Amino acid sequence: MTFATTDLCDAHGAALSDGRLRVLPPVFLRFGKAQRFSGPAVTLKVFGDNSLVREALA
């Protein structure tokens, strides 16, 4: 199945407007040969201790 972010935003305008659907900014750079990747996105709030980041990545 192929789709574009713009198609999802157009199809779910109400969810985009009220915050249920959010789009990540295009800040990703290409590292290696993979042109695409996918997976869950998680936000961690850490204050001075990045051990939670290491644990989440493990």
pLDDT over 90 at 18, yes or no:
yes
C-alpha Rg value of the chain to the nearest Å = 15
2 class by beta-carbon count within 10 Å (0-12 exposed, 13-18 middle, 19+ buried): exposed
Give the predicted TM-score (pTM) of the model.
0.38
pLDDT, mean of residues 32-50: 78
Confidence of residue 7 (pLDDT cuts 50, 70, 90): confident
- pLDDT confidence of residue 14: 92
pLDDT over 80 at 56, yes or no:
no
Rounded CA-CA distance 35/29 in Å is: 10
pLDDT, mean of residues 39-53: 78
Rounded CA-CA distance 48/6 in Å is: 37
pLDDT over 80 at 10, yes or no:
yes
45 alpha-carbon distance from chain centroid: 16
